[in-house]
Chains A and B, each alone.
Chain A
C-alpha cells in the first residue's frame, strides 16, 4: 500500500495536485475561522487560484529562458506591459465613438488586438535579444532590466499620453493610465450564460463570482496549454540544443549549431507568452498604468522559479503555488485572523510612536503597526527567504531535476559505476 502510494507520488501531476490541495485546505480552514459563507470561501479560492495560475505562467517562461536556455531575463514586466498596452491601444473604440473623456484607440476587435499584442511583445523580445546575444549573463540581465525601464518610461511619458498620427488619435494614458477592454467572459454571462447565473444565485453565489470562477477556469486551461507547449519544446531536438547552450555554449557551437538562432527563437517565444500573460492579467483588471509594471513583480515571479528550482517545469508551478499561497496572500489572511481573534486597542500610528509604546510596555500599537504594514513585510519576507534559499538550498525544491542536454545521462552512469566499484571493494 505504501509502495503504491510512493509510486503515485512519482507522478508530477499528483505532486502539483497534492500541493494545491494542501494550500486550498489551509485557506478553507482560515476562511471557516473568519466566518466566510459559501460565496466567501469560493471567492477566496478563486483569488488564490487566479494568482497561482498567472504566476505559474510567468514562472514557466522564466524557467524556459533561464532554466533551459541560460538567458537571465529580469525585464519580464516590460514585455507584459508591451503586450497589454498594444492590445489596449488596438482595441479601444475609435475617436468619436468612445465615451467622452476617455482615450481613443484603433477600434479593432478584441481577438485581433490580442494577436497584435502578443506579436508586439514578441517583436520587442526580438529587439532586446538580437544585439545582446554575445553578452555574458549578468550584462544580458542588465540590458533586459534597462529595456523594461525604457518601456515603462515610454508608457509613462506625457508626450505619448494622447497624440494624433496619420489622422488617427491614440494614446497610452501616460502616468494616469488607460482603461483596458471588457472581459469576454463577463459579456458571455451577461448574454447567453444568464441561466447559469440564475442557477448559481439559488446557492447564494452572485453573478460576478460566477464570471470570476469561469475566468479562472479559462486561465487554468491557458496554464495547461503553456505547460504542454513548453514540455513539448523541451523534449524536442530544439530543446536539446537549448540545454546544450545552457550547459556549454562553445561546445554546442562546435557541433555546428547556430546558437544565436536558437537563443533568439526561445527568447521570442517566451516574450510572446509574457505578452499574453499581461493581456489576461493586468488587462482583465480593467485599468492599466505604468506603475503596475515594476521590478517588484519580476522579483516575485523569479522567486517562484527559484523556490521550485530552475530547470524544472513542475518546480515552477509548485513554486508558484507555494509563493502565492504562503508568502504573497498568507500575510493578508494572517492579519485578518489576528484582527478577528486578538482584540487590539487603539489606531495605527507611526513607526517611532509604535516602538516608543512597545518600549513603554504597550504591545498593541506595535502589533497594529505591523498588521498595517503587511504588504511591505511581505516583500521583506520574500527577500530574506530568497537569501536563505540561496545559502541552504540553491537548487530549490526540484533543481536536482535539471534536465541535461545529452540523451544518454553520462553523469548518472559514472556515478553508478563509482558506487558499484566502491561496493565491490575495487581499488580504482
Chain B
C-alpha cells in the first residue's frame, strides 16, 4: 500500500520530481524533533548524545579514509575491490608489529614482539604501549602501516588484477574475493584467530556536560588529527600536483585523458599507492581506537566502507570521506533509538536504501 501511495505521488508528480529528497527531508525532520524532545524531557542527556556524536565522528573518519582508496579504484579500474578490507587488516598487523618492536626493543624477543605475542608469549601490559607512553612507537607503526598498505596494493595489482583487467568488472570482483580470502587466511595462518590486546589506557579528557561527562580519549584525538592532516594532504595532491590533476582527468574521462598524453599506468599505480596507504592508516587507527586487533578487523569494516563510498558517490574523494563520516554518525547516533546489536545493520540498511534511490550518491561522477 505504501508503494502504491509512493507510485501515485511519482506518477502525478505531486512533489515536483523531488519525491526522494523531500521524503528524506521529512524523515530527517521527524528524527530531529524526536531528538529534541528526548533531550528536553531528560530521556537523553547531552553528555550521552555528545559521546555518540564524538564516537561517530572518529569512527566515521576511519571509514572515510579507508573509503578513499576503495572509491578511487572503483572508479578508475571499474571494479569493486572486495579485498580492500584485508589490505586494512594486513597493513594494520604490519604497523602494530612494528610499533611493538619499537616499544619493546631490547627488553623482549623481537620475534614475539613483531608477531604481537601470538600464542601468549607477550601481553599488552608487558610492553605497555599507549599514545602517551610510547608516541614514537605509535608514529613508527603508523608510517609502516601506510607503507605496507601501499606496497601491498601495488603488488597485488601487478600479481593479480593487471593481467585480467580486460576481463570485465565481474571477473575482477570475483578475483578480488579470492585475494580477500587468501590474505585473510594467511593472516590466520600467521596470527591464528586470536584477538590481540594492543594498548594500555592513556589519558582521557573529561568534559563536563549536562547529564554527565563527554570522554575524549587520547587515541581518538590522535586519530582526528592524523585524519585531518591526511585529508589535507590528499586534497593538496589532487589539486596542486600534475599527477593529481591527471587522476582527476582519468576519473572523469579515461579515453580522453589518454589521448591528451596522460600516462595511465602511472596514474593507476599512484591510485593504488594512495588507496593502499590510506587503508593502512585506517587499519592502524581502528586498531588503536578499539585497543584490539583480529584477523577480521578489516572485513568487518568493509561493508560499512562500501556504504560510505556509495553514499558519497563512487569516484569522489571528498564524497568518500563525507560518506564515511555520515555512516559513522548514523551507526553511533542511531543508538538513541535502536539497541546496540542493530546499529551495524542500520548502516547496511541505509546503504541499501541509497543504492535503491540514488545510486550515484551525493557527489557521484566526479573525482573531487
- List A residues at the B interface (Cβ < 8 Å): 72, 74, 131-132, 135, 137-139, 141-143, 145-147, 149-150, 153-154, 156-159, 296, 299, 302, 306, 349-353, 356, 373, 376-377, 379-380, 382-384, 386-387, 390-391, 394
Contacts and interface: CB of A to CB of B under 8 A. Distances in A.
Contact-size category for B: 35 or more
Contact of A153 (B115, B183, B345, B351): B345
A391 B182 CA distance: 16
Interface of B: 79-80, 111-112, 114-115, 118-119, 121, 160, 163-164, 167, 169-171, 173-175, 177-186, 188-191, 303, 306, 310, 339, 341-342, 344-345, 348-349, 351-352, 355-356, 359
A149 B169 contact: no
A369 to B, nearest CB: 9
Contacts of A147: 352
29 contacts: A131-B352, A131-B356, A132-B356, A137-B170, A138-B79, A139-B355, A141-B80, A142-B355, A150-B345, A154-B342, A156-B341, A157-B341, A296-B181, A299-B177, A351-B118, A351-B189, A351-B190, A352-B114, A376-B188, A376-B189, A379-B188, A380-B185, A383-B178, A383-B179, A383-B181, A386-B174, A386-B177, A387-B178, A394-B164
A387 B190 CA distance: 21
B352 A143 contact: yes
Nearest to B295: A376
A142 B181 contact: no
A157 B182 contact: no
Nearest to B182: A383
Contacts, number: 131
A390 B175 contact: yes
Contact of B303 (A146, A156, A349, A373): A146
A288 B258 CA distance: 54
A349 B119 CA distance: 8
A296 B186 CA distance: 14
Contacts of B163: 391
Contacts of B174: 302, 306, 386, 390
Contact of B112 (A299, A352, A379): A352
A387 B179 contact: yes
A387 B182 contact: yes
Contacts of A391: 160, 163-164
Nearest to A353: B111
Nearest to B111: A352
A373 B186 CA distance: 10
Nearest to A156: B341
Contact of A138 (B173, B179, B303): B173
B118 A143 contact: no
Given A138-B79, A352-B111, A387 B341 contact: no
A159 B339 CA distance: 8
A346 to B, nearest CB: 14
A362 B80 CA distance: 44
A131 B357 CA distance: 9
Contacts of A384: 178, 182
A285 to B, nearest CB: 21
B90 to A, nearest CB: 13
B182 A159 contact: no
A384 B185 CA distance: 11
Given A299-B177, A351-B191, 4 more contacts: A132-B355, A150-B345, A379-B182, A390-B171
A263 to B, nearest CB: 15
Contacts of B189: 351, 373, 376-377, 380
A158 B339 CA distance: 10
Contacts of B342: 153-154, 157, 159
Nearest to A386: B178
A135 B185 CA distance: 31
Contacts of A159: 339, 341-342
A145 B114 contact: no
Contacts of B190: 351
Given A153-B344, A379-B181, A352 B173 contact: no
Which A-B residue pairs are the 6 nearest by beta carbons?
A: A383-B182, A386-B178, A350-B119, A352-B111, A157-B341, A379-B185
Nearest to B351: A146
A386 B175 contact: yes
Contacts of A353: 111, 119
A334 to B, nearest CB: 16
Given A350-B119, A376-B185, A139 B359 contact: yes
Nearest to B120: A350
A391 B189 CA distance: 25
Contacts of B351: 142, 146
Nearest to A356: B111
B339 to A, nearest CB: 5
Given A153-B344, A306-B174, A146 B352 contact: yes
B186 to A, nearest CB: 6
Nearest to A351: B190
Most buried by A among B160, B164, B185, B191: B185
A377 B190 CA distance: 10
A132 B177 CA distance: 22
A264 to B, nearest CB: 14
A380 B86 CA distance: 13
A306 B181 CA distance: 16
A350 B121 contact: yes
Nearest to B174: A390
A377 to B, nearest CB: 6
Most buried by A among B171, B356, B359: B356
Contacts of B356: 131-132, 135
B335 to A, nearest CB: 13
Contact of B171 (A351, A356, A394): A394
Most buried by A among B175, B181, B306, B356: B181
A6 to B, nearest CB: 32
A383 B179 CA distance: 6
Contacts of B160: 387, 391
Contacts of A377: 185, 189
A83 to B, nearest CB: 20
A377 B114 CA distance: 22
Contacts of A302: 174, 177
A80 to B, nearest CB: 18
